[in-house]
């Protein structure tokens, strides 16, 4: 099958300037880290030769305003390091990080604190709550350290506590809450400052599956309600596919592929990614665009009409019950046709690339 | 590390290390038989070597320069004045006549009221009651003023120690560099036997409260620094990172994240500091610090068991009260957090105001009226306690004399005398050679070098013979400590029941100032070397037992279960699984036990141990023996370093043999 180009898939967004753009970012742990930048040795060879670990190597990507950008990779692939480099919780070794055009790496201490206080906030895997403060004080913490008056910060904190569904727990202490509730506090704390970008480092991996699903839905709801840009780290592919507008896949510190969920599943960049996505039910992710074919001569072209971005799973019923090939159209223009043959091929899972 | 691998090489080439050790011991025994009494450097109690004379003169020179040397004029004398003033101020408040009146500012009623109020506000009702009862008992034992003197000295030293220790601890918690810098200094301060630095201190700060306070601070600051640093360090990096990601400045992270999260640990540090200070404040009686320690010391010197017991009891009560109040305070932090906010701020304020109000009224009464200022004489039960203790001690001595003598004679004749004869009777060079060879065989090249240097230093100090006598007692005491430690430690480590019953006893044992132990043991065994050894064992055993028990408990339950399911008997389980796996805890217990035993050497000198302990004690009281006392103090330190090094090297070697690499904990 033919892979549609990125431009085609996400045409509506491209004219908006990116809120965050990362260029050729490196983070090397170890002695003489600078000298390793630009090296093309593999991580293992580097470790043996110089004793350095290149946790992030030559990573470039752009995040658009309002999108949920997921970074995915196996344990040790450098995701946490990458996301911490964005606010310089870990100091990058080389590269550029532009937030709305401003180079984060050039910011001095003061400016950096401003950025952290107002523009980017982070949610952590292990919550990082202050055990000696009640929920309300935890949520208000960010506002407190930037000097917001008591009354105002409590007002704002109450508002956010309500937003994440923790009403009634304002005066509880973290150790009196379940894991899921604690992460809601973490989320509220990040939201309280009303930042432009929210960073999540595997926020739900410490939670059990049911709660995790609930929290994922919560993030989707919040995204719809407050419309923040989100950068979301995970090692869980289904989470990535569920939340991500676009997904960046990392391996050994390097970018392997950046694309929409259907691009990643439909056109994996290499065997690593292919392996990764092999268990995904393709019909849940791929859209009709991925399976349609040009109409054959003599084929009747008066069947039902569907859009190219309809997920196959949702089209199954319409296609299988139609007598004639289903036409895939975009703005009245015929892109191709889909019949039960193509659909069944995907569902049976034998079609590859 | 190279030394280690070198010895490993030696050990590999000489497989029969065990036979070599036996050979060295045989050479020693033969040497003793042939050369007994040659080159043994015997030195009488009042005899001096030229070095001791030189030390005396040097000390006199320091004394003379007190009012001319700029170091004294512009630095040390100011510190002394400042500390003296501070102690005197607190004494004026609670213990000594002040403001031209025959009584201190606050009498017994006021002090008891204030102490109880503090216990109530920072602890709970139970410890408040305990505090009130404790303070009243000071009066009832007829020791109000002495107790308040001890309290004044302790509190001043604690305040100064915390003022120095907590900031340094925070610094050490924040900076790895500073931490690396202070750790060896603290190690040194803590391993140095406490009595050793008393005499040199008096040289700089004169005899009296200033020296006593500084000595107490030297002893009490290390736990304050260490525990504070530990508290700051253990704050989870996740939480800190969260703070930073919200834009907290380093100062804000310290104030809002690190300090609150370390608060409970820091209060534990305060508790340790207070207990250390109380212990040292009583010991400082040796350099004329006022208070209960004086009473005990004088009684010990005249073998007046009744008086010593009475004052010892007051010290114990003070230790218990201070320990319970600060422990309750540290738990309170936790309890409050768990329960959410117990009360509103307003409620708490009302409570504080009420309690302080009542205490204030009591204080005013005690300032104004004699009956509230001076503890009523009619309530003085001290003489009864003294007489009862005397009678009890007499009865015990009379009726148990058969048993105590049997134990005493067995240990003295079978072990102590033989070891002492061997150590003191052999020529010094033979002892040194054998010791170095043994250090090499059981330890490492480095341990052998330290041993050689240390023993030669003992010769140079002119205290060879005395050192060997003390060494014999120390070895016997340490062996006894380890026997007790392993037996009781295994028992406590394996049985929850034993743990609940014995742990409070051990805890109490550890909080008691060293002096207190002497009193009942003196009552039992009279003034001999043996009394000193038993006192040292009693002092050192709790820490050893606790460490062994921790080690046994630390053995993973799965391993124990696996061994049990494989059919191991209890004895096999202990000897083949639990003890070997707890080996690092056992060796730690041995080296800690040794340090505790050594720190009792001087106390032993008070009750007939002779040798180095006596030299130090005599140095306090007799001017011409000052130099020798100083040298004896040094000799104790040298002995401690040598024994500690050899023991550590031996452990390391055992670990290497067992695991093929140094044991990491
Ligand atoms: N402070 C550090 N010093 C040295 N190496 C580090 C440091 N932090 C991370 N690394 C290394 O960098 C690599 C990437 O680590 P990172 O924590 O970013 O991975 P990750 O993708 O977040 O993994 P996980 O899913 O387990 O969280 C790893 O090989 C790790 O060992
Ligand atoms: Mg990670």
- Range of B57-71, B98-112, B234-248 with top mean pLDDT: B234-248
Short-list B252, B236, B238, B179, CA closest to A109: B252
What is the pLDDT confidence band of residue A249, given thresholds at 50, 70 and 90? very high
**Rounded CA separation B321/B338 (Å):** 25
**Rounded CA separation B648/B662 (Å):** 11
What is the pLDDT confidence band of residue B330, given thresholds at 50, 70 and 90? confident
Q: Does domain B390-427+464-627 have CATH number 3.20.20.70?
A: no
Q: What is the enclosing helix (H) or strand (E) of B506?
A: helix B496-511
What is the pLDDT confidence band of residue B461, given thresholds at 50, 70 and 90? confident
- Give, in order, the Cα–Cα distances in Å from B413 to each of A59, B46, B611: 79, 27, 18
Of all residues in chain A, the percent with pLDDT exceeding 90 is 46
Q: In B222-354, which ranges are E strands?
A: none
What is the pLDDT confidence band of residue A15, given thresholds at 50, 70 and 90? low
Average pLDDT over every residue of B414-442: 86
- Compute, in angstroms, the gap from residue A210 CA to the centroid of ligand 1: 28
Question: Quick check: A134 and B340 CB within 8 A?
Answer: yes
Average pLDDT over every residue of A160-185: 90
Question: In whole angstroms, how large is the CA radius of gyration of chain B?
Answer: 27
**Where are chain B's structural domains?**
62-380, 390-427+464-627
Of all residues in chain B, the percent with pLDDT exceeding 90 is 16
What is the pLDDT confidence band of residue B15, given thresholds at 50, 70 and 90? low
**Rounded CA separation B292/B164 (Å):** 26
pLDDT of residue A9: 40
Pick among A128, A141, A197 to test the B interface (most B CBs inside 10 A)? A128
* Both structure tokens of B124: 């709970």
Query: Per DSSP, what are the bridge partners of residue A336?
Result: A328
* Both structure tokens of A222: 């919040």
- Compute, in angstroms, the gap from residue A79 CA to the centroid of ligand 2: 6
In angstroms, what separates the C-alpha of B343 from chain A's closest C-alpha?
13
Which residues, 6+ apart, have CB-to-CB distance to A30 below 8 Å?
A36, A50, A51, A52, A53
Average pLDDT over every residue of B504-524: 74
pLDDT of residue B46: 66
Average pLDDT over every residue of B238-266: 91
Average pLDDT over every residue of B498-521: 76
**Rounded CA separation B300/B285 (Å):** 12
pLDDT of residue B662: 44
Q: For tokens 């999108």, what's the residue?
A: A67
Q: Is B262 on the interface with A (CB under 8 A)?
A: no
Task: Check if A203 has its Cβ closer than 6 Å to any atom of ligand 1.
Answer: no
**Rounded CA separation B9/A351 (Å):** 66
Contact by Cβ (8 Å): A96, A24: yes
Query: What are the tens digits of pLDDT across the range A193-228?
Result: 899 999 999 999 888 888 889 989 989 998 998 889
How are beta strands A333-338 and A197-201 bridged, if at all? unpaired
- Ligand 1 binding pocket mutation candidate from A26, A29, A205 (most atoms within 8 A of CB): A29
pLDDT exceeds cutoff 70 at B2: no
Of A146, A171, A186, the CB nearest to B247: A146
pLDDT exceeds cutoff 50 at A46: yes
- Compute, in angstroms, the gap from residue B445 CA to the centroid of ligand 1: 41
Q: Which CATH class is domain A6-119+195-280?
A: alpha beta
CA-nearest residue, atom 4 of ligand 1: A29
Helix (H, G, I), strand (E, B) or coil at B458: helix
Q: Which of A95-104, A267-276, B494-503 has the lowest mean pLDDT?
A: B494-503
Q: For tokens 């132990």, what's the residue?
A: B517
Q: Which atom of ligand 1 is nearest to the CA of A82?
A: 18
Task: Kindly tell me the sign of the dihedral angle through the C-alpha atoms of A212, A215, A219, A220.
Answer: positive
Query: What are the tens digits of pLDDT across the range B53-70?
Result: 788 888 888 878 877 888
Q: Which atom of ligand 1 is nearest to the CA of A56?
A: 14
* Both structure tokens of B228: 């504070």
Short-list B179, B217, B181, B178, CA closest to B201: B217
**Rounded CA separation B465/B454 (Å):** 14
Task: Kindly tell me the sign of the dihedral angle through the C-alpha atoms of B548, B553, B554, B556.
Answer: positive
Average pLDDT over every residue of B128-156: 92
Q: In A141-217, which ranges are E strands?
A: 197-201
Q: Do domains B62-380 and B390-427+464-627 have the same CATH topology?
A: yes
Q: Which residues of B touch A145 (CB under 8 A)?
A: 243, 246-249, 252, 256
Contact by Cβ (8 Å): B244, A109: no
Q: Which of residues 225-254 of B touch A (CB under 8 A)?
A: 236, 238-249, 252
8-state DSSP, B100: T
Average pLDDT value over all residues in chain B: 83
Q: Which residue has the higher pLDDT, B17 or A52?
A: A52
Contact by Cβ (8 Å): B453, B508: no
- Compute, in angstroms, the gap from residue B462 CA to the centroid of ligand 2: 64
**Rounded CA separation B225/A148 (Å):** 35
**Rounded CA separation A282/A284 (Å):** 5
What is the pLDDT confidence band of residue B195, given thresholds at 50, 70 and 90? confident
pTM of the model: 0.80
Of all residues in chain A, the percent with pLDDT exceeding 70 is 94
In angstroms, what separates the C-alpha of A327 from chain B's closest C-alpha?
51
Q: Which of A218-227, B415-424, B427-436, B602-611 has the lowest mean pLDDT?
A: B602-611
**Rounded CA separation B544/B24 (Å):** 30
Query: What are the tens digits of pLDDT across the range B363-391?
Result: 888 888 878 878 887 778 888 888 888 88
Which CATH code fits A283-347?
3.90.1280.20
Which CATH code fits B62-380?
1.10.3720.10
Query: What are the tens digits of pLDDT across the range A284-313?
Result: 888 888 888 888 888 888 888 888 888 888
Helix (H, G, I), strand (E, B) or coil at B127: helix
**Rounded CA separation B245/B236 (Å):** 14
Average pLDDT value over all residues in chain A: 87
Short-list B312, B359, B351, B327, CA closest to B132: B359
Helix (H, G, I), strand (E, B) or coil at B582: coil
Average pLDDT over every residue of B47-55: 78
ipTM of this predicted structure: 0.82
pLDDT exceeds cutoff 90 at A246: yes
Helix (H, G, I), strand (E, B) or coil at B479: helix
pLDDT of residue B245: 93
Contact by Cβ (8 Å): A283, A346: yes
Residues in chain A: 353
Q: Residue B568: count other Cβ atoms within 10 Å of its Cβ.
A: 16
Query: Per DSSP, what are the bridge partners of residue A123?
Result: A200
Q: What is the enclosing helix (H) or strand (E) of A24?
A: strand A18-29
φ/ψ (deg, to 5) at A336: 175, -175
pLDDT exceeds cutoff 90 at B193: no
**Where are chain A's structural domains?**
6-119+195-280, 283-347
Sheet holding A333-338, edge to edge: A305-306, A326-330, A333-338
Q: In B489-583, which ranges are E strands?
A: none
Q: Which residues of A touch B (CB under 8 A)?
A: 87, 89, 113-118, 121-122, 124-134, 141-142, 144-146, 171-173, 175-176, 186, 189, 193
HSE of B443 in the Cβ direction (CA atoms, 13 Å)?
A: 22
Question: Quick check: B256 and A114 CB within 8 A?
Answer: no
pLDDT exceeds cutoff 50 at B75: yes
- Give, in order, the Cα–Cα distances in Å from B445 to each of B5, B8, B184, B616: 10, 10, 22, 32
Question: Quick check: A128 and B241 CB within 8 A?
Answer: yes
pLDDT of residue B390: 84
pLDDT exceeds cutoff 80 at A85: yes
Q: For B249, which residue in chain A has the nearest alpha carbon? A: A113
Contact by Cβ (8 Å): A65, A229: yes
Question: Quick check: A176 and B340 CB within 8 A?
Answer: yes
Q: For A199, which residue in chain B has the nearest alpha carbon? A: B245
Query: What are the tens digits of pLDDT across the range A306-320?
Result: 888 888 888 888 888
**Rounded CA separation B173/B232 (Å):** 5
């Amino acid at each position: 099958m033919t892979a549609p180009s990125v431009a085609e898939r996400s045409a509506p967004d491209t004219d908006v300037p990116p809120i965050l753009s990362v260029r050729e970012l490196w983070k090397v742990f170890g002695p003489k880290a600078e000298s390793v930048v630009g090296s093309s040795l593999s991580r293992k060879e580097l470790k043996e030769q110089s004793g350095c670990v290149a946790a992030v190597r030559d990573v470039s990507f752009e995040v658009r305003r309002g999108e949920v950008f997921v970074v995915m990779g196996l344990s040790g692939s450098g995701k946490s390091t990458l996301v911490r480099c964005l606010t310089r919780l870990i100091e990058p070794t080389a590269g550029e990080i532009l937030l709305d055009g401003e180079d984060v790496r050039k910011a001095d201490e003061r400016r950096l604190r401003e950025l952290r206080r107002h523009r980017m906030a982070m949610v952590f895997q292990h919550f990082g709550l202050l055990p000696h403060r009640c929920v309300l004080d935890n949520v208000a913490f960010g506002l407190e350290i930037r000097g917001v008056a008591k009354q105002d910060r409590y007002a704002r904190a109450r508002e956010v506590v309500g937003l994440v569904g923790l009403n009634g727990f304002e005066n509880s202490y973290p150790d009196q809450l379940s894991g899921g509730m604690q992460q809601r506090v973490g989320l509220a704390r990040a939201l309280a400052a009303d930042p432009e970008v929210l960073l999540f480092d595997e926020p739900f991996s410490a939670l059990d599956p049911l709660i995790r699903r609930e929290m994922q839905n919560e993030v989707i709801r919040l995204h719809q309600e407050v419309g923040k840009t989100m950068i979301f780290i995970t090692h869980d592919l289904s989470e990535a596919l569920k939340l991500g507008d676009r997904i960046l896949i990392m391996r050994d510190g390097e970018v392997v592929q950046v694309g929409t969920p259907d691009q990643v599943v439909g056109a994996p960049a290499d065997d690593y990614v292919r392996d990764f996505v092999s268990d995904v039910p393709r019909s849940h992710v791929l859209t009709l665009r991925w399976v349609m074919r040009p109409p054959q001569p003599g084929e009747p072209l008066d069947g039902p009409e569907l859009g190219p971005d309809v997920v196959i799973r949702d089209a199954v019923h319409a296609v299988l019950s139609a007598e004639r090939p289903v036409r895939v159209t975009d703005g009245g223009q015929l892109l191709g046709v889909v019949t039960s043959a193509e659909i069944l091929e995907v569902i049976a899972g034998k079609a590859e690339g | 590390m190279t030394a280690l691998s070198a010895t490993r090489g030696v050990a590999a080439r000489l497989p029969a290390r065990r036979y070599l050790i036996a050979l060295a011991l045989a050479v020693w025994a033969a040497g003793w038989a042939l050369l007994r009494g040659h080159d043994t450097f015997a030195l009488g109690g009042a005899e001096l070597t030229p070095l001791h004379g030189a030390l005396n003169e040097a000390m006199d020179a320091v004394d003379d320069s007190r009012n001319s040397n700029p170091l004294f004029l512009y630095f040390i004398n100011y510190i002394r004045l400042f500390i003296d003033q501070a102690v005197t101020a607190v004494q004026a408040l609670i213990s000594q006549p002040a403001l031209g009146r025959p009584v201190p500012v606050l009498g017994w009623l006021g002090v008891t009221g204030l102490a109880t109020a503090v216990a109530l506000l920072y602890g709970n009702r139970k410890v408040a009651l305990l505090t009130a009862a404790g303070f009243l008992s000071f009066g009832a034992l007829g020791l109000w003023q002495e107790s308040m003197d001890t309290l004044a000295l302790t509190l001043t030293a604690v305040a100064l120690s915390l003022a120095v220790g907590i900031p340094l601890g925070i610094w050490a918690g924040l900076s790895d560099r500073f931490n690396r810098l202070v750790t060896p200094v603290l190690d040194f301060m803590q391993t140095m036997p406490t009595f050793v630095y008393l005499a040199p201190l008096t040289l700089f700060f004169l005899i009296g409260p200033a020296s006593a306070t500084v000595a107490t601070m030297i002893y009490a600051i290390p736990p304050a620094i260490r525990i504070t640093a530990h508290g700051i360090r253990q704050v989870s990096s996740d939480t800190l990172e969260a703070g930073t990601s919200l834009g907290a400045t380093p100062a804000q992270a310290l104030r809002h994240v690190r300090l609150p999260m370390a608060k409970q640990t820091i209060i534990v540090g305060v508790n340790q500091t207070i207990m250390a200070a109380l212990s040292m404040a009583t010991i400082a009686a040796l350099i004329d610090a006022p208070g209960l320690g004086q009473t005990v010391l004088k009684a010990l010197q005249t073998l007046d068991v009744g008086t010593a017991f009475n004052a010892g009891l007051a010290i114990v009560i003070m230790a218990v009260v201070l320990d319970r109040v600060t422990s309750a305070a540290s738990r309170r932090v936790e309890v409050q957090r768990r329960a959410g906010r117990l009360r509103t701020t307003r409620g708490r304020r009302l409570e504080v105001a009420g309690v302080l109000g009542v205490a204030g009224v009591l204080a005013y009464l005690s300032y104004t009226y004699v009956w509230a200022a001076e503890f009523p004489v009619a309530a003085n039960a001290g003489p009864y306690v003294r007489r009862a203790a005397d009678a009890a001690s007499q009865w015990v001595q009379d009726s148990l004399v058969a048993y105590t003598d049997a134990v005493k004679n067995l240990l003295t004749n079978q072990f102590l005398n033989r070891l002492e004869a061997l150590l003191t009777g052999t020529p010094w060079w033979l002892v040194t050679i054998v010791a170095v060879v043994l250090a090499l065989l059981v330890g490492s090249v480095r341990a052998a070098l330290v041993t050689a240097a240390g023993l030669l230093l003992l010769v140079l100090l002119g205290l060879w013979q005395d050192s060997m006598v003390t060494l014999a007692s120390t070895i016997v005491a340490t062996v006894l400590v380890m026997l007790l430690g392993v037996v009781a430690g295994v028992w406590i480590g394996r049985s929850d029941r034993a743990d609940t019953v014995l742990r409070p006893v051990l805890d109490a044992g550890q909080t008691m100032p060293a002096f207190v132990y002497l009193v009942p043991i003196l009552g039992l065994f009279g003034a001999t070397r043996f009394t000193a050894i038993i006192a040292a064992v009693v002092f050192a055993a709790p820490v050893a037992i606790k460490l062994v028990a921790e080690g046994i408990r630390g053995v993973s339950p799965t391993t124990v279960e696996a061994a049990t399911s494989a059919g191991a008997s209890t004895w096999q389980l202990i000897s083949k699984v639990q003890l070997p796996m707890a080996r690092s805890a056992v060796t730690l217990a041995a080296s800690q036990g040794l340090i505790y035993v050594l720190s009792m050497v001087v106390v032993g000198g008070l009750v007939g141990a002779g040798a180095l302990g006596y030299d130090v004690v005599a140095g306090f009281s007799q001017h011409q023996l000052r130099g020798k006392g100083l040298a004896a103090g040094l000799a104790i330190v040298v002995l401690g370093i040598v024994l500690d090094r050899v023991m550590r090297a031996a452990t390391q070697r055992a670990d290497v043999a067992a695991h093929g690499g140094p044991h990491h904990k």
